[in-house]
Amino acid sequence: MPERSIIIKRESDISNKKKDDMMSGVKWRVSLLFVLITVSIFFSLLASSDRFVEFRGNETYAQTGDGVLREDLIANLTSRLEAGNHETRLNAASELGKFGETAANSLIEKIESDTSSSGKINSYMLLAFLETGDDRAENILFENFEKIQASSEAANEITAEVKAENGISADILRAIEEKDKATRRNLAISLDRDYNDETNTLEAALRAEEQNSSIYDSFALSEFEPDEPGSETEKLIKALRSDSGSIRIAALMALGERREAAAIDSMTPILTRDYSPVQSSAAFALGEIGDERAVEVLVKQMKDGDSDSIRSNAAIALGKIGKETAVPDLIQRLRDNRAVVRSSAALSLGRIGNETAVEPLMEVLKNGKLVEGRARDSVNANEDVRKSAILALGEIGGPGVTEALADILTDKEEKLSVRMAAAAALGNTGDPQAMEVLKNVFDDSSEDLNLRNQAFLALGKTENQEVAELLVAKLGDSEFGASGREALIELGEVAVDPLIENLKTTDRKIRDETALILIEIGDPKAIKPLIEAYQ
């Protein structure tokens, strides 16, 4: 073979070997990549399977799986009944049902130990127990419905007493509580400005949602040595003479929270001669105590107080005391030059409920109405003033009130919050005409969703069978279901028959929603229909 041919063949062999080596390398890399992808998919599926078992239950596993892990899953789902949102709790109740008797035993222990943080959470526990189909359901439901009924009756008695005394709705009580929170918040701001870090504990107590008199007590009593003679009340009254304004504020708040009528004579002079934050605290505390002996000094300060805060707090305090002799002075404050005072006076007039206030309150709404962007009285155009006057009229009622409130509810030129207040107030009037107006707003899909929800809730106050059926029909509605649940629970016995009928639905989620509401109402006649629905 010629030398050139040999060289060419060698080069060809070398080239082919390189190609073979390269192909071999590529194949190795492809194979390795394939193995890695396969392993990744395997572990991903395994992890998904674990999550499915942990979070969704798996009925077969519940029957045959390892007992320890099964109990862990039940514990995990039970904790979701306590800590999750509404949807999470409903799903957890449904999944617990798949564990049958094992879950039922755990749930009974939880229900009977009464360790749930609220009755509402206990309702989800009872729903989950129903889902298990356990034979003990009738006894467990009967025992718990007795407790629910007793609790509901006690709450209704308190509500009835309050209404009988003052005719007060939850809406106006909430509005007054918002005023109280604003007062406490302003006191905390004043303390922070005047005392820096020295009063942090007292400031935190003032800002707290739930008031705790023991914190006020301990702060005020820190003024004294442990061997100081006298009872705690006597020492708190003595603390009203402290050189420290923060101690005086703490003592006033403590005495107010205790409803300590023995302190009235020591507190009323403070209202007229101390510095502004302490005077505001005194007005607040006198309202909490509710003793009629304070009316005269409160009326004086409502008229002549040095600050809006003092005048406003005095007005609210007069409403809490509820003495009708204060009504003319409260009506006069509807012309105060500060919106906060007018608003407080209106709420107190609503709380007292004297019909002589109707015309002046209607005048507030009329003079504050914007016409071509202007109102006859700019203070009455204030949002807070209008809402307070509206809620007050809803409490008092009387000729022309429903029409006036309906006009505001349907007036799209009014602010949304003012229209929502009108919806709430119409629900409190109990007037059949108001129900028609509320239904029309609810049915109008062009209206704001929040306003329609408020109208829906207001309908629930009418205690009407037709309304109950409307509310039940909306339980599956993503926009109104939550409002429907709240209103049906509020309706109570009136809603029971439509809810029992609704248990026949083929929609599992609607059935669970319906059952939960029946559990929260606690009417014994729902027990057998509930058991039948879950057999």
- Ordered DSSP codes for 225-245: -TT--S-HHHHHHHHTT-S-H
- Please, what sign has the CA dihedral across residues 105, 109, 112, 114? negative
For residues 76 and 118, give the distance between their C-alpha atoms in angstroms, rounded to a whole number: 19
Tell me how long the chain is: 535
What pLDDT sits at residue 49? 40
Q: Give pLDDT tens digits along the chain (535 positions).
A: 454 444 444 544 544 554 455 445 545 554 555 545 554 544 454 444 444 433 444 443 444 445 557 888 998 998 888 887 889 999 999 999 999 999 999 999 888 886 544 456 788 999 999 999 999 999 999 988 888 888 776 655 554 454 544 458 889 999 999 999 999 999 999 999 999 899 999 999 999 998 888 999 999 999 999 889 999 999 999 999 999 999 999 999 999 999 999 999 999 999 999 999 999 999 999 999 999 999 999 999 999 999 999 999 999 999 999 999 999 999 999 999 999 999 999 999 999 999 999 999 999 999 999 888 899 999 999 999 999 999 999 999 988 999 999 999 999 999 999 999 999 999 998 888 898 999 999 999 999 999 999 998 898 887 778 888 888 998 888 888 888 888 888 888 899 999 999 999 999 999 999 999 999 999 999 999 999 999 8
The pair of structure tokens assigned to 461 is: 């106050």
Residue 457: Cβ-neighbour burial (10 angstroms; 0-12, 13-18, 19+): buried
Integer Cα distance of 427 and 491 in angstroms? 13
| Sequential DSSP letters for 76-138 | HHHHHHHHS-HHHHHHHHHHHHTTHHHHHHHHHHHHHHT-SSSHHHHHHHHHHHHHTT-TTHH
User: What does the pLDDT read at residue 5?
Assistant: 46
Q: What is the pLDDT of residue 51?
A: 40
pLDDT at 234: 95
Secondary structure percentages of the chain, helix, strand, coil, to 5: 80, 0, 20
Structure tokens at 529: 């229909």
Q: What's residue 62's pLDDT?
A: 42
Task: Note the pLDDT of residue 40.
Answer: 54
pTM: 0.73
Does the CA dihedral 526-528-533-535 come out positive or negative? positive
Question: Looking at residue 63, what is its pLDDT?
Answer: 44
Contact in structure between 435 and 464 (CB atoms under 8 Å): yes
3-state secondary structure 20-39: HHHHHHHHHHHHHHHHHHHH
- Whole-number pLDDT of residue 154: 67
